[in-house]
Amino acid sequence: MRVGIQLPEVEREVRWPEYLAMAKAAEEVGFDSIWVGDHLLYDGPERAPWEVWTMMSALAAVTQRVTIGPLVACAAFHPPGLIAKMAATIDEISGGRFTLALGAGWNRREFDAFDIPYDKRVSRFEEAFTIIRHLVAGERVTFDGTFHKADDVVLLPTPHRPVPLMLGSNGPRMHAIAAEHCTSWNTWWEDYGNTPEGFAELQAQFAPHLERSACMLVQLDGQPEERKPTVPAVPEARFAAHLRELGEAGADEVIVVASPITERSIRTLGEALPGR
């Protein structure tokens, strides 16, 4: 089972030198992947992360081993052809270490603030995903939809490989649209209760060919609680055991959401990674 870690999103303001230190620490201690959120603006309090595609490109250039991906990229934030182009570029920079995780978005605040249509998000996703999946598979695309169009578009320079696609949604309609064309599926820790039993029940509902990826909230001992969980966090003392239990429940990958997320937390959890 692979184990990744999510880098800071909006827990606090984080500058590039700290992201760099955390990414290098994650590689050093044995995490398999690093993930960054794709959001533009939150309220309550007002806050936002850095732009995710620029950040992933920088992370790809300063790492050597870990897989890099968005958790998850909102298909509505950019034209679909441009998303495919950016994905292929980061895959090139990383030497084939990129996974394109996609969703339809949910936070209306950022849609409205950045003048992005919020209505019919799943229908818009369906058209965007059609264009994206064909492009990252190396195909030339012409498409004339209600929301998106593509006129004989092709990715050049030619990517070295098809970029792997991950679906970041539990919605039945989203799975009907995308699951057949993805290699993996991810779910957030709140959506399955952050328990092995909850994950086992949820993952059983989805396509058997998909690799299962579960986010897991872990609270570090004696450290500030950066996330206010709606369900209990996994205590640090049970980190390794909980990983094993999620694997037994069907997870092929676990993406750790650490509270707090710091270089110290990454190194501490890295010491407890099974088999490391």
Q: Which residue, 241, 234, 180, is CA-closest to 206? A: 180
Residues 6+ apart with CB under 8 A from 269: 5, 29, 218, 220, 236, 239, 256, 258
Residue ranges of domains in the chain, CATH in brackets: 1-31+186-276 (no CATH), 67-182 (3.20.20.30)
Give the tens place of pLDDT for each residue, 178-228: 999 999 999 999 999 999 999 999 999 999 999 999 999 999 999 988 887
Look at residue 269 and give its three-state secondary structure.
helix
* CA 170 – CA 218 distance, rounded (Å): 22
The DSSP symbol for 157 reads S
Look at residue 123 and give its three-state secondary structure.
helix
pTM of the model: 0.96
Give the tens place of pLDDT for each residue, 171-190: 999 999 999 999 999 999 99
